[in-house]
Structure 1
Amino acid sequence: MSHNTRQRRFAALRACDRILSGVQPTTMRDRLADMDAGGDLDDEPDFYGDGPVTMLEERVANLLGTEAAVFFPTGTMAQQVALRYGADRSGHPTVALHPLGHLEMDERHTYAHLSDLRSTWPTTEPRNPTAEEITALAEPVGTVVLELPLRNAGFVLPSWDELAAASAAARAIGARVHFDGARMWESTAHLAHTLSEIADLADSTYVSFYKTIGGISGAALAGTTELAAHARIWRHRSGGQVFQQWPAALSALAGLNRELPRVPEYVRHARTVAAALATLPGALVYPEPPHTHRFRLWLPHPAQALNDAALALAEEEKVWFAAGWQETNVPGMAMTEITVAAPALGWTTDDIAEVGDRFIARLADH
């Protein structure tokens, strides 16, 4: 996307009165004002990880029921530390992960380039591996990675019983269990268990602060005190011991205070939104019903035409429907990801059908 197109979309979305997918973008001034919800701006800033950063670490450890949590500037760095820890403790440099996971798709195979680790894939199916697939691994592994939810497969989750069985199978073969929980915040409704109950199935858990809860940036790696000590050493060695990170910490705390309690409501409403969108001509929704408050939507039109229609609807009617369309390997179908958050809660099935008809009608011009 060009800079001009991105700026045009930002302006159009910011001016919208109604938003079905996503949230209204904020300026830097908005974000600074929002930090009051995370802590007292008259307090001292952090100094290499104390103050609000420590407060955030303690909050995450409490939410996940772990002995400790360590703040990282990026999830990529946090995940590499977790995998290195597994390799060091087990003596096995192989990591079992999914080819659609963040480590393969979004982190440029950092585990291989920086830590000399290699991967094996328990499955290539668009879901997390099963207990049977983990048990059948042909070589010893230091860590088994499970992504909750598996974003690039459509934000899909296993059932609770499947997740518990996969965790037990990993431990039975002598591997650590690591949850790539960038969006684990939104997984509790489908799994019908609390964050601490979910994290208890893993030896380490990574969570993101800008995904789901809307922080500026940052992540945490949670687990034992031994893991935390290792993580702090390798965070420093990796260049993550930043002088001050109070904006990221306060915005994360604000998100935990404001957004996290509302996520189950978003997940429930996503089921209504998905069912309504599935009635559009030629539409496909996956998964149906959604496992989280995010899901995928396909329509039988070119991606550019759909993006143009979405932008025109926003600029002319102040309504944001669904944008970010991409071509797919399904002939004639384009796909986008729908995120149901606070702005979508007021949309009824009838609202979605009525605006959807107007959106589709705009495609006739292409």
Structure 2
Amino acid sequence: MTGIVIDRALRAQCQTFLQGHGAVTPRIWMERMLAMPEMDLPGDEYGAGPTVTALQDQVAGLLGKPAALFFHKAVVGQQAVLFAHRERTGRRLVAVHPQSHIAIDETDAVERLSDIRLARIGPDDAPFTLADLQGIHEPLAAVVVELPLRNAGFRATSWTELVAISQWCRDQGIAFHLDGARLWETQPWYGRTLAEIAALADSVYVSLYKGLGAPGGAIIAGPADLLAMATPWRSRMGGNLYSAFPYILGGLDGLRRFLPRMADYHAHAMALAAALDERDAPRAADRVMCNSFRLVWPVDASALADILAMTARTDRFWAFGRVVPLPVRDYCYTEMVVGEAAMLHAPSALADRFATWLAAARAVSAKAG
């Protein structure tokens, strides 16, 4: 995602934060960890220990999978599981969306580090469909669906389509992997349990640091034999850390602290989108399918960035770190991520604030023009 980055030095000066769970300092993380009952358990060492086992078991249970494996970073975890699917099937081609994490955010890692090739299918602004998959005429090792597609505006595959893709993969003997970077956050929109969603896939990745607020980390869940094949790749790619206790404890804390609140975050995001529709304000680009959505502003990107920077300087209010121009002239977008920080603001109050910023940005743009 390209765009105008707001001066990050301003963030350190702000007292109020809009996105996610707000500004979390190392002190706050450590204070949370010190209060945890697991703090006095033996530490983890090279991916083993009681806290690692507890985290992996909890995630496996939530997703209804036989086993789960910790990775310090999803780039490593998703490559490892794709390498395992490649080995199992003897095939090289993996279907992904052209705007997915694997295709966009990992700098071609899986193709450069292995003989796997990516088939990028579907439109840039919507999830691919079963019909798109059926247009591939070469044997596939795996199909990857990202829930939701962040780079396409946090859009998720419909349940009907997800079920159809899952069944087609099974009928064809193709591995089905869910890139669930925001699976926790999308689950309320589906209205099904995490285990029901994960049951459609052979393997699932979930993040520990996005909605769960840990300092980092990822989990891959699936059959034990598949994860056994992925485990050596964790070491081969430098991912078997001597100790990862901040990630492990942060993940356990997030499962208790933030996971039960995901439906509240989604409801708040929908309420904010509805409030914006009643004002001369930016709009949600699409139906709100998780706690996050793309906020489209009918104004020049540089003008909006100026207003956001001024707000950070004068009001000590940090809202969005980046403004991205859209192909349509005088339109841009920011990303709205609802967590504990936004829950402190009523949707109507936030909508009023955004409307004020839009008016100010239009004035700046008119003056510049």
Superposed pair shares fold, TM > 0.5:
yes
Q: 2:135 corresponds to which letter in structure 1?
A: A
Q: Distance in 2 between matches of 1:47 and 1:280?
A: 54
Q: Distance in 1 between matches of 2:5 and 2:135?
A: 48
How far apart are 1:127 and its partner, in Å?
2.6
Corresponding residue number in structure 1 for 2:84: 85
Corresponding residue number in structure 2 for 1:138: 137
Unaligned runs of 5+ in 1: none
- The equivalent position to 2:26 in structure 1, one of 28, 33, 42, is 28
How far apart are 1:44 and its partner, in Å?
2.2
Moved more, 153-162 or 68-77: 153-162
How far apart are 1:3 and its partner, in Å?
11
| Pair 1:10 & 2:12 matched | yes
Moved more, 302-311 or 192-201: 302-311
How far apart are 1:321 and its partner, in Å?
4.5
Corresponding residue number in structure 2 for 1:295: 293
Corresponding residue number in structure 2 for 1:117: 116
Which digits, 9 at most, give the CA deviation of each residue in 1:159-182, with x for residues without a partner?
Answer: 222111111112222210000111
Corresponding residue number in structure 1 for 2:358: 360
Q: Residue 142 of structure 1 aligns to a residue in which SS?
A: strand
Corresponding residue number in structure 2 for 1:327: 325
How far apart are 1:320 and its partner, in Å?
4.4
Q: 1:81 corresponds to which letter in structure 2?
A: A
Decide whether the 8 Å contact of 1:306 with 1:323 is kept in 2: no
How far apart are 1:132 and its partner, in Å?
2.7
Decide whether the 8 Å contact of 1:135 with 1:169 is kept in 2: no
Mark the CA change 1:20 to 1:188 in structure 2 (over 3 Å): closer, same or farther. Answer: same
Q: Distance in 2 between matches of 1:185 and 1:37?
A: 24
Corresponding residue number in structure 2 for 1:268: 267
Q: Residue 231 of structure 1 aligns to a residue in which SS?
A: helix
**TM-score, reference length from structure 2:** 0.91
Q: Distance in 2 between matches of 1:125 and 1:323?
A: 23
Q: Distance in 2 between matches of 1:4 and 1:362?
A: 17
Corresponding residue number in structure 2 for 1:203: 202
How far apart are 1:346 and its partner, in Å?
4.2
Decide whether the 8 Å contact of 1:95 with 1:141 is kept in 2: yes
Corresponding residue number in structure 2 for 1:75: 74
Decide whether the 8 Å contact of 1:39 with 1:253 is kept in 2: no
Q: Residue 7 of structure 2 aligns to a residue in which SS?
A: helix
How far apart are 1:43 and its partner, in Å?
2.6
Number of equivalences: 361
Q: Distance in 2 between matches of 1:315 and 1:338?
A: 20
Decide whether the 8 Å contact of 1:135 with 1:173 is kept in 2: no
| Pair 1:227 & 2:226 matched | yes
Q: Residue 226 of structure 1 aligns to a residue in which SS?
A: helix
Mark the CA change 1:4 to 1:153 in structure 2 (over 3 Å): closer, same or farther. Answer: closer
Q: Residue 33 of structure 2 aligns to a residue in which SS?
A: helix
Q: Distance in 2 between matches of 1:334 and 1:181?
A: 27
Decide whether the 8 Å contact of 1:135 with 1:170 is kept in 2: no
Which digits, 9 at most, give the CA deviation of each residue in 1:323-365, with x for residues without a partner?
Answer: 5212222221111000111222243343134323432343224
How far apart are 1:34 and its partner, in Å?
1.9
Q: Distance in 1 between matches of 2:170 and 2:133?
A: 10
Moved more, 65-74 or 50-59: 50-59
Q: 1:5 corresponds to which letter in structure 2?
A: D
Q: Residue 296 of structure 1 aligns to a residue in which SS?
A: strand
* Superposed CA RMSD: 2.1
Which digits, 9 at most, give the CA deviation of each residue in 1:244-295, with x for residues without a partner?
Answer: 111110011111110111011100111111122244436342213x000100
Q: Distance in 1 between matches of 2:261 and 2:251?
A: 15
Mark the CA change 1:38 to 1:208 in structure 2 (over 3 Å): closer, same or farther. Answer: farther
Q: 1:111 corresponds to which letter in structure 2?
A: V
Q: Distance in 2 between matches of 1:23 and 1:307?
A: 22
Unaligned runs of 5+ in 2: none
Decide whether the 8 Å contact of 1:134 with 1:170 is kept in 2: no
Q: Distance in 1 between matches of 2:351 and 2:263?
A: 24
Q: Distance in 2 between matches of 1:109 and 1:263?
A: 32
Percent pairwise identity: 36
